[in-house]
Amino acid sequence: MRRLKLVGFILVASILLLPPGAFALTAEEIIERGDENKYLEQVRMETELIIKDGKRELTKEMIIYIAGDSVVVEFTNPDDKGTKYLKIGDDLWVLFPNAGEPVKISNQMLERTMVSGDFSYQDLMEQEQLLELYEFEIVGEESYQGRDSYLIEGSAKEGVETSYSHRRIWVDQERFIYLKEELYSQQGRLLRTVEAEEVEQFGERWYVTESVINYKLRASSQTVFRIKAIDFEPEISEDTFKL
Amino acid sequence: MFLVRLAVRNLTRNKKRTLIVAMIIAFGIVFFVMFNSLVLGLERSYFDNVIDFESGHLQLVDDDYWPRQDELPLHNLITLDEQLQQNLSQVPNLKSYSPQIRFSANINNGLDELPITAVGVDGERKKEVFKLEEHLIAGELFTADQSGAVLGSSLAELMGFELGDYLLLVFTTAEGVFNTLEVEIVGVVNTPNPKVNDKQVYIPYQKASGALNTEDKATEIVMRLESDTSIMEAKEFIKNNIVAEIDKYAVYSWRDSAQDVVAMTEVQDIENRIITSLFLLIAAIGIINVIILAALERIKEIGMMKAMGMKEWQIIKIFMIEGLGIGVIGSIIGSLMGGVGVYWLVNYGLDLIEPDFGLPVVERTYGVWNLSAFIFVIAFTLIVSLVASIFPAYWAVCKEPVDALGGVN
């Protein structure tokens, strides 16, 4: 009995004496949990896009459907009502309400900013989970917006197609939300930042419902992306993704 | 001979009338030859601008790249290896060639950005293939080992750039990764081609290749020949000696690569033909009208000639010779005046085209000499003058001398 107590004591002591990082998550595990929150297999969202450029402010309303790697963005604000962006596989199409045929957005257009905002068409095209695209490492832990976060850097995996060769991500340690992302060019220049402004819990999933995107190469420009309603288990007919 | 003398006398008897009709014909000829000279000059300018700033005389490309070239893809590129260089050096009448890599980018000044076409070029070779250096308004064209960017004057003005400023290019690499390139502006060009002035930035080939991860490959190899007339010969040689060896390559002439411009000029050519035809029709009606009036005025004279025993065909002949005479006088005056007008167009030109007209020309439009236009319009005038005089003369001679002398129509 005394021997059993001794073994128990040694075991508890060993656990207590382990270095603090011994049970910490790896960068991949953190991003995996982040991806679990962020990436949606199927969803319907009613959203709002507020594009600010100096004194100019433009609001666009959209309904977004996602199913696998297909995405439909349908504008509902009066000026753009009926305009749709449709991503099927690697192709992006735009349908204007009064034009008969959909127009394929050419490769040279993909790098341009979408609807004069701060993100590009190419950003819309990228639906893969981050873990598939980057090698990650934890570079620190710091407080961001008053929340403890992991600072993680990602470098694009060799042979994988991704828009940004380098990313820095602040991941909320408790909710595994990407609080801030910095997106860099191959040359190492900061191109865009995406910051979470509002986060809500839906069942077990934490989800960013308002984020601010900044294209860092254009002064006084900012785009707010706000989710007004979200359905994680929508019924989306196959026709939604047909041209 | 008597009839000719009579016709000449009739013409000189009514000097004022003869001169007025001849001047109407002359002004028609002046308008026609000047319009024709200007249209041909404009067309020549379009084509020169395409050859001098866009496509050279010939382009060697990957055949899969060609149909998608407007999208500026970075796939299906061409490698300028030693073997290809050796083959190219044997192309007949080849003045020079240059590899280039064209890609889509945004030019950024820190405040805003605009979509442009960036072109990676070997500065030294570029000088021989395109006429950029002649149109530098500031700075210089970079050499092979230099860095720097050269851009069009309108683009520089729009973005607020000056010589020595740094511009930032934002683009995606061959793998679709965003990349940026900061380059000092070493030259500004103002060419007759609005596409170059408004939308193009030239950077060194090696720098572009490195930033795009294209491994020293080019989107096309542009060739300049000694003259326009040797295009077909050079094209055939490349087909038989280069494309035959590497069948994924293809050679295209400037006409193939500027199909939009060629199509536009073809449409314009049809428009010009319609305008010219309308003009000629109006001119013909004018001539007919004037000769009819002259015949009506002289109806009593015709009655008199018939009463004096002149045959109908002789009267018609007199009218035809008179018509031809007016045509000759008008043609001589018109050709002289037209010659002066065309000389002026050829040497001084006109400011015709707004930069946004959609065709690759912004400078003054100069005319060209076209002898066939002179020959055609003179022949047309003489034939119309001759034919136009038959009907009124025939109508007049059909009258009885009594009716004609009495002035009964």
Mean pLDDT in residue range A33-39 = 91
State the amino acid at position B251 in one-letter form: V
Residue of A nearest to B114 (CA): A112
Inter-chain contact A122–B111, Cβ cutoff 8 Å? no
Q: What residue ranges do the domains of chain A occupy?
A: 25-241
Inter-chain contact A218–B178, Cβ cutoff 8 Å? no
Inter-chain contact B177–A110, Cβ cutoff 8 Å? no
Chain A nearest CA to B238, separation (Å): 30
pLDDT at residue B408 greater than cutoff 80: no
pLDDT digits (tens, 9 = 90+) for A46-103: 999 999 988 888 999 999 999 888 889 999 999 888 898 998 888 888 888 877 788 8
pLDDT digits (tens, 9 = 90+) for B370-402: 898 899 888 988 888 888 788 877 877 777 777
Chain A residue numbers with beta carbons less than 8 Å from the beta carbon of B71 are: 106-108
Query: Do residues A53 and A221 make contact, with C-beta atoms less than 8 angstroms apart?
Result: yes
pLDDT digits (tens, 9 = 90+) for B18-76: 888 888 888 888 988 898 898 888 888 888 888 888 889 999 999 999 888 888 999 89
Give residue B292's pLDDT band: very low, low, confident or very high (50, 70, 90): confident
Query: Do residues B179 and B172 make contact, with C-beta atoms less than 8 angstroms apart?
Result: yes
A121 touches chain B (CB under 8 A): no
pLDDT digits (tens, 9 = 90+) for B237-251: 998 888 877 778 999
pLDDT digits (tens, 9 = 90+) for B302-333: 778 878 888 888 888 888 888 888 889 989 99
Chain A nearest CA to B103, separation (Å): 8
Inter-chain contact B211–A187, Cβ cutoff 8 Å? yes
- The whole-number pLDDT of residue B398 equals 79
Mean pLDDT in residue range B2-23 = 81
Chain A nearest CA to B389, separation (Å): 58
- The whole-number pLDDT of residue A19 equals 47
Q: What residue ranges do the domains of chain B occupy?
A: 2-50+262-406, 64-247
Chain A nearest CA to B141, separation (Å): 25
Inter-chain contact A163–B73, Cβ cutoff 8 Å? no
- The whole-number pLDDT of residue A17 equals 52
* Sign of the alpha-carbon torsion through B47, B359, B267, B379: negative
Give residue B151's pLDDT band: very low, low, confident or very high (50, 70, 90): very high
- The whole-number pLDDT of residue A22 equals 44
pLDDT at residue A150 greater than cutoff 80: yes
Torsions phi, psi of B163, nearest 5? -55, 135
- The whole-number pLDDT of residue A21 equals 45
Chain B residue numbers with beta carbons less than 8 Å from the beta carbon of A161 are: 175-177
A69 touches chain B (CB under 8 A): no
Kindly write down the DSSP assignment for every residue of B321-353, as one continuous string: HHHHHHHHHHHHHHHHHHHHHHHHHHHH-B---
How far apart are the C-alpha atoms of B38 and B342, rounded to whole Å?
Answer: 8
Chain A nearest CA to B260, separation (Å): 19
Chain B residue numbers with beta carbons less than 8 Å from the beta carbon of A185 are: 170, 177-180
pLDDT digits (tens, 9 = 90+) for B296-310: 777 777 778 878 888
Interacting residues of B77 by C-beta distance below 8 A, sequence separation 6+: B62, B65, B101, B214, B217, B218, B219
Chain B residue numbers with beta carbons less than 8 Å from the beta carbon of A191 are: 170, 178, 180
Interacting residues of B134 by C-beta distance below 8 A, sequence separation 6+: none
CATH class of A25-241: mainly beta
How far apart are the C-alpha atoms of B198 and A229, rounded to whole Å?
Answer: 44
Chain A residue numbers with beta carbons less than 8 Å from the beta carbon of B208 are: none
Interface test with A, best of B74, B167, B177 (most A CBs within 10 A): B177
- CA–chain centroid gap for B113, Å, is 34
pLDDT at residue A147 greater than cutoff 90: yes
Give residue A12's pLDDT band: very low, low, confident or very high (50, 70, 90): low
State the amino acid at position B397 in one-letter form: V
- Whole-number Cα distances in Å, B387 to B8, B25, B133, B285, B288: 18, 15, 56, 11, 8
Chain A nearest CA to B189, separation (Å): 25
User: Measured between CB atoms, which of B71, B179, B181 is closest to A106?
Assistant: B71
How far apart are the C-alpha atoms of B276 and B262, rounded to whole Å?
Answer: 20
Better-predicted residue by pLDDT, B344 or B303: B344
Q: How many CA atoms lie within 13 A of A35 on its CB side?
A: 16
Q: Which A-chain residues 204-223 have CB contacts (< 8 A) with chain B?
A: 217-220
Better-predicted residue by pLDDT, B232 or A111: B232
Identify the H or E element spanning B38.
helix B15-50
pLDDT digits (tens, 9 = 90+) for A153-202: 999 998 888 889 999 999 999 999 999 999 999 999 999 999 999 999 99
How far apart are the C-alpha atoms of B226 and B56, rounded to whole Å?
Answer: 11
pLDDT digits (tens, 9 = 90+) for A191-241: 999 999 999 999 889 999 999 999 998 888 899 999 999 998 888 887 888
- The whole-number pLDDT of residue A9 equals 61
Q: Which residues of B touch A (CB under 8 A)?
A: 70-73, 104-106, 108, 110-113, 115, 168, 170-173, 175-181, 211, 213
Give residue B359's pLDDT band: very low, low, confident or very high (50, 70, 90): low
CA torsion B333-B335-B336-B342 (nearest 10°) is 140
* Sign of the alpha-carbon torsion through A109, A114, A120, A124: negative
- The whole-number pLDDT of residue B215 equals 87
pLDDT above 70: percentage of residues in chain A:
90
Mean pLDDT in residue range B95-107 = 92
Least confident of A233-237, B160-164, B363-367: B363-367
Better-predicted residue by pLDDT, A219 or A26: A26
Chain A nearest CA to B172, separation (Å): 7
- The whole-number pLDDT of residue B407 equals 55
pLDDT at residue B143 greater than cutoff 50: yes
Mean pLDDT in residue range B80-103 = 90
Give residue A14's pLDDT band: very low, low, confident or very high (50, 70, 90): low
Chain B residue numbers with beta carbons less than 8 Å from the beta carbon of A218 are: 108, 111-113
Give residue B117's pLDDT band: very low, low, confident or very high (50, 70, 90): very high
pLDDT at residue A16 greater than cutoff 70: no
Global ipTM: 0.82
